[in-house]
Chain A
Amino acid sequence: MNVDETDLPGFGVRKDFMTQSGRRLGVVTHRDGETELIISAWDDPDTCQASIPLTGEEAATLGNLLGGQRIVMQLTEEHRDLPGISTRQFHIAAESPFRGHPMGKAQIRTRTSVSIVAIMREGEVLASPGPDVVLHVGDLIVAVGTEEGLDQAATILRNG
Chain B
Amino acid sequence: MDPLALTLIELGAVVFALGLLARLAARIGMSPIPLYLIGGLVFGAGGLVDLGHVRDFAHLSGEIGVILLLLMLGLEYTARELFTGLRKSWQAGVMDLVLNFLPGAGIALLLGWGGVGALVMGGVTYISSSGIVAKVITDLGRLGNRETPTILAVLVFEDLAMAIYLPILTATLAGVSFLGGLQTVGISLVVVTVVFFVALRHGHRVSKAVHSENSEVFLLNVLGLALLVAGIASAMQVSAAVGAFMLGIAISGTTAHLASRLLEPLRDLFAAIFFVAFGLNTDPTTIPPVLGWALLLALVTAATKIATGWWAAARAGVAVPGRARAGAALIARGEFSIVIAGLAVTTGAVNSELAALATAYVLLMAIIGPLAARFVEPLVKAIRRPRGGGPREASARVPF
A residues touching B (Cβ–Cβ < 8 Å)?
A: 6-11, 14, 16, 24, 26, 28, 31-32, 36, 38-40, 42, 44-51
Which of the residues A24, A32, A44, A49 comes within 8 Å of B400, measured between beta carbons? A49
The 0/1 profile, CB within 8 Å of A marked 1, for residues 126-150 of chain B is 0000100010000001111111110
Which of the residues B143, B146, B153 comes within 8 Å of A24, measured between beta carbons? B146
Flag whether B76 is at the interface (Cβ < 8 A): yes
* Bound CA span A48–B144, Å: 6
* Contact residues in B for A16 (Cβ distance below 8 Å): 144
Flag whether B152 is at the interface (Cβ < 8 A): yes
Which has the most chain A C-beta neighbours within 10 Å: B85, B141, B321? Answer: B141
Flag whether B176 is at the interface (Cβ < 8 A): no
Contact A44 B319 (CB under 8 A): yes
Residue of B nearest to A16 (CB): B144
Question: How many interface residues does chain B have, given as a range?
Answer: 20 to 34
Contact A47 B321, CB 8 Å, known A8-B143, A10-B77:
yes
Which of the residues A9, A28, A39, A46 comes within 8 Å of B77, measured between beta carbons? A9
* Contact residues in B for A7 (Cβ distance below 8 Å): 81, 84-85, 149
Contact A40 B144 (CB under 8 A): yes
The 0/1 profile, CB within 8 Å of A marked 1, for residues 311-339 of chain B is 00000001101100100000000000000
Contact A46 B146, CB 8 Å, known A9-B85, A9-B156:
yes
Contact A36 B257 (CB under 8 A): no
Residue contacts A-B, CB under 8 angstroms, 28 given: A8-B143, A8-B148, A8-B149, A9-B85, A10-B134, A10-B152, A11-B134, A11-B152, A16-B144, A24-B144, A26-B144, A36-B144, A38-B143, A38-B144, A39-B144, A40-B144, A42-B400, A44-B319, A44-B322, A45-B146, A46-B147, A46-B319, A47-B146, A47-B322, A48-B142, A48-B144, A50-B400, A51-B142
Flag whether B397 is at the interface (Cβ < 8 A): yes
Contact A46 B321 (CB under 8 A): yes
Residue of B nearest to A27 (CB): B144
Contact B144 A9 (CB under 8 A): no
Smallest Cβ distance from B320 to chain A, in angstroms? 9
7 tightest Cβ-Cβ pairs between the two chains A and B = A38-B144, A46-B322, A46-B146, A48-B144, A9-B81, A10-B76, A51-B141
Residue of B nearest to A6 (CB): B149
* Contact residues in A for B377 (Cβ distance below 8 Å): 47
Contact A36 B81 (CB under 8 A): no
Residue of B nearest to A50 (CB): B400
Q: Among residues 70 to 125 in chain B, which have CB atoms less than 8 Å away from a CB atom of chain A?
A: 76-77, 81-82, 84-85
Residue of B nearest to A10 (CB): B76
Contact A31 B257 (CB under 8 A): yes
Which has the most chain A C-beta neighbours within 10 Å: B85, B155, B318, B400? Answer: B400
Which has the most chain A C-beta neighbours within 10 Å: B85, B146, B321? Answer: B146
Flag whether B383 is at the interface (Cβ < 8 A): no
Flag whether B179 is at the interface (Cβ < 8 A): no
* Bound CA span A36–B77, Å: 20
Flag whether B1 is at the interface (Cβ < 8 A): no
* Bound CA span A6–B146, Å: 10
* Bound CA span A14–B143, Å: 9
Contact A44 B77 (CB under 8 A): no
* Bound CA span A8–B143, Å: 8
Contact A36 B84, CB 8 Å, known A7-B149, A8-B152, A11-B152:
no
Contact B144 A14 (CB under 8 A): yes
Residue of A nearest to B323 (CB): A46
Residue of B nearest to A12 (CB): B143
Residue of B nearest to A24 (CB): B146
Contact B318 A46 (CB under 8 A): yes
* Bound CA span A88–B146, Å: 38
* Contact residues in A for B81 (Cβ distance below 8 Å): 7, 9-10
Q: A47-B325, A51-B144 are in contact. List 11 more A-B contacts (CB 8 A).
A: A7-B84, A7-B149, A8-B148, A9-B85, A36-B144, A40-B146, A42-B397, A46-B147, A47-B146, A47-B322, A48-B142
